[in-house]
Amino acid sequence: MSTAAKTAELREIRGPSAFGGTWQRTWDLLWLLSVTEFRVQYTNTALGYAWSVLKPFGFFGVIYLVVNQVLRFGDLVENFPMMLILGLVLFQYFSESTNAALKSVSAKETMLRKTQFPRIVIPLSVNLSAAISLVFNLLGVFLLFIVAGLEPRLTWLLLPLIVVPLILLTTTLSMLLSVAFVRSEDFGQAWTLTLRALFYATPILYTLVIIPESIQPLIAANPLTPLIEYARVLVINPDAATPVDLVGVGAGLLVPLAISIAIAVGGIWMFNRDAPRVAEAL
């Protein structure tokens, strides 16, 4: 009758929250859930994790061959197929991650209703597992680039300067979307449309330099634009015109940065505000 439990002090329970609990527990859950999510994709396959690199290699390899050999766009813009592929990989992470996170809170309903844990774990784990996929996709794509004859460059090592901000942007936006979807499922339909529009409003099929000057500032305001444009500079063509060269520091860098910060602040604020009530709103 004299165990430690007997003398434990009363501590107030404040209900569920976005960030409550210890960092250790948040991280444990986050890591476990995202690794699980990543692993289950390959559990019943013979090749296992090899798929995680083979899949992007094959997928983007086909695009490379078609664009380069069949459509012969490679003759018009230097290294166009590689620019397209790099843009696609980054955008694919953005769209898959936000799409999965959008429904993540409502998909994990039982967990939310039956256990206590920091609610932030749910959208973050979806993002983390998508980020793990992104790393493997990039590995596959770099393999492809080398096979296709692209010269490896030291600036490749700077790619985290692009990938980390992209993950931050995607994650905070995911937080926003995941609680918005609980409020109204209309956001699910709306986001599908928005993603489609964003795909064309981001320099993936084109580069900023080839579009009419009048709409350059509009496209440059898209937070994804500088990320993809600078990724191309780092990986493929160090001499390419950057958004800053084309539309100036303000429109090319500060505007998308401001929009990104607004999304981040809004996402964290919204999630923090809604997290205590999501279990009952589901």
Question: Applying CB under 8 A, which residues contact another protein?
Answer: 1, 3-16, 20, 24-25, 28-29, 32-33, 36, 39-40, 43-44, 110-117, 276-277, 279-281
Residue 151: CB minimum distance to another protein, A: 42
Q: Which of 104, 169, 105, 102 is nearest to 131 (CA)?
A: 169
Q: Which residues make Cβ contacts (< 8 Å) with residue 282, sequence separation at least 6?
A: 105, 106, 109, 112, 113, 182
- Residue whose CB is less far from another protein, 125 or 207: 125
Q: Closest distance between another protein and the C-beta of residue 259, in Å?
A: 29
Cβ neighbors of 12 (< 8 A, separation 6 or more) are none
Q: Give least dist CB 274 to another protein, A.
A: 11
CB-wise, 43 or 214, nearer to another protein?
43
Rounded to 5°, the CA angle 96-126-262 comes to 75
Task: List CB contacts of 2: < 8 A, sequence separation 6 or more.
Answer: none
CB closer to another protein out of 13 and 157: 13
Which amino acid is present at 112? L
Query: Among residues 1 and 197, whose Cβ is nearest to another protein?
Result: 1
Residues 74 and 68 sit within 8 Å (Cβ to Cβ): yes
CA distance 16 to 32: 20
> Under a CB-based contact definition with an 8 Å cutoff, are residues 102 and 192 in contact?
no
CB of 39 to another protein, least distance (A): 8
Q: How far is the CB of 86 from another protein (least distance, A)?
A: 32
Nearer to another protein, 113 or 153 (CB): 113
Determine the Cα–Cα distance for residues 32 and 27; give it in Å rounded to an integer.
Answer: 8
Q: What's the closest the beta carbon of residue 186 comes to another protein, in angstroms?
A: 10
CA 214 – CA 218 distance, rounded (Å)? 8
Euclidean distance between CA atoms 166 and 263, whole angstroms: 12
Specify the residue, 49 or 200, whose C-beta has the smaller distance to another protein. Answer: 49
